[in-house]
Copies of this chain bind each other. A is one copy, B any other.
Amino acid sequence: MGSATLINANRLWTRLMSLAEIGATPAGGVNRQALSDGEIAAWRCVIGWGREAGLTPSTDAAGNLFLTLSGRDRAAPPLLVGSHIDSQPTGGKFDGAAGVMAALETVVSLAEQGEKPARDIIVVAWMNEEGSRFAPGMMGSEAFTGERPVDAIRAARDADGISVGEALDRFHQAFPDVPHRPLGFAVGAYLELHIEQGPVLEAAGRTIGVVTGIQGKKTFQVVVEGAEGHAGTLAQSERRDALAAFAKVAAALHAEIGTIDADIKFTIGRVTVVPNAPSVVPLRVTFSIDLRHPDNAVLDSAGTRITALCQENAPPCTATVTPLVDAPSNAFDTRLRASIAEAAREQGHSAMDILSAAGHDARHLAKICPAAMIFIPCRDGVSHVEHEWAEPDHVAAGASVLAQVLRGLARAPAVEA
């Protein structure tokens, strides 16, 4: 089966580039954070393209977007395929968006060819995968799969004090014609295409990554609290300088946790200083920790050391460590992985097994249904940056493999786990 019949590669690329105009940054990237005006505009775009092909939009209490192509058996658990269209503040054109657009292209092509699937196929864009505006991320897929209550998600606030609840209500008000469906439903299978966000496929010269699983991740929020004072008058010996304590804590964390082994990933990405004035000894420093490792035992022991290192290095200030995300490594469905590898082989695309270093919504879907992911290379392995890039041929290849696997599932009367 040639890829020309499965998807329209030119249309996919053109629509992906059009979507990247929404929230475009001067440096060629995308700033389209969760529940922002940019994401509203992106929804309008995607819903419009779906409606043209006869797909029906709907949403849920967690702000996920669904576009449904009706199947013969409307009661059977649908096939879900998608990713997310929110971005980092200085993100790129592909992270998330490539997966949603590949899913949309796959289902639109199917609809255009008049093929009625055995069950509903739903394109999904999950709410707040990135977690940059509202932490932590993957709120939509976690709420959908029942891992976090909607009320807990609604309570999170952005840097301006706006809650997810407020932003979500405003978001839904922008779409009075998109009906709401109950949160969470039985799913037949879940597929997600994504750029690798790492250098492995590019270095190996492969086009398709058959994702074996996702490395484990822990995140924390740490608050270092001291005492405010005048920078010109308060003696050093009298100070409880939260920034001085933070510097010592952060340096110790980077020196010990950041060097555990070659697989560890340790990042302090967000830091907020209060009152953050040049001539005031800082009262409080709040910072985020992002820790990842494929081995759950290493992850757990590193997590324990993080708390200890914060406590040891903070005095005379205090450090309060709050765990946020605790997601162990997981493995994707073996039958779906085999289908992906088979489709790549039939289409003549080089493929390899690959562990996902980044977290994805598929991690959560894998707990409620057979799930799998397809990776395509990204230039220099970089992502979450404005110059993030994937080649048009790789986007087309990934979408075509996705389409073949999805069509196989769509023809089967039942999906076996």
Binding site for B on A (CB under 8 A): 88-90, 130-132, 135-137, 196-199, 215, 217, 219, 228-238, 241, 243-244, 246-248, 250-251, 254, 258-259, 262, 264-271, 273-283, 288, 290, 292, 357-359, 381-385
- Does A279 lie within 8 Å of B130, measured CB to CB? yes
Q: Would you list 6 pairs from A and B whose C-beta atoms are within 8 A, ordered by A residue?
A: A89-B275, A90-B274, A131-B278, A231-B269, A236-B264, A244-B258
Contacts of A292 in B (CB 8 A): 231-232
- Among A237, A248, A268, the most chain B Cβ lie within 10 Å of the Cβ of A268
- Does A247 lie within 8 Å of B247, measured CB to CB? yes
Contacts of A266 in B (CB 8 A): 236
- Does A265 lie within 8 Å of B232, measured CB to CB? yes
- Does A269 lie within 8 Å of B288, measured CB to CB? no
- Does A231 lie within 8 Å of B290, measured CB to CB? yes
Contacts of A88 in B (CB 8 A): 275, 277, 279-280
Partner of A232, one of B228, B241, B279, B358: B358
- Does B278 lie within 8 Å of A219, measured CB to CB? yes
- Does A243 lie within 8 Å of B215, measured CB to CB? no
Contacts of A283 in B (CB 8 A): 90
Contacts of A230 in B (CB 8 A): 197-198, 357-358, 382-385
Give the complex CA separation of A199 and B130 in angstroms: 48
Give the complex CA separation of A278 and B382 in angstroms: 16
In the complex, how many angstroms separate the beta carbon of A225 from the nearest chain B beta carbon?
A: 14
- Does A135 lie within 8 Å of B247, measured CB to CB? no
Contacts of A215 in B (CB 8 A): 232
Partner of A231, one of B90, B238, B262, B265: B265
- Does B381 lie within 8 Å of A233, measured CB to CB? yes
- Does B273 lie within 8 Å of A270, measured CB to CB? yes
Return the chain B residue nearest A214 by Cβ.
B232
Partner of A196, one of B233, B268, B275, B357: B233
- Does B357 lie within 8 Å of A275, measured CB to CB? no
Contacts of A358 in B (CB 8 A): 230, 232-233
- Given A231-B292, A243-B250, A384-B229, A270–B259 Cβ distance below 8 Å? no
- Given A197-B230, A276-B270, A279-B290, A262–B247 Cβ distance below 8 Å? no
In the complex, how many angstroms separate the beta carbon of A142 from the nearest chain B beta carbon?
A: 15
- Does A383 lie within 8 Å of B247, measured CB to CB? no
Give the complex CA separation of A279 and B283 in angstroms: 25
- Does A275 lie within 8 Å of B90, measured CB to CB? yes
Partner of A279, one of B196, B269, B279: B269
Q: Which 7 pairs from chain A and chain B are nearest by CB?
A: A247-B250, A198-B233, A231-B267, A232-B358, A278-B288, A233-B357, A132-B277
- Among A232, A268, A274, the most chain B Cβ lie within 10 Å of the Cβ of A232
- Does B235 lie within 8 Å of A262, measured CB to CB? yes
Return the chain B residue nearest A237 by Cβ.
B262
Give the complex CA separation of A232 and B262 in angstroms: 13
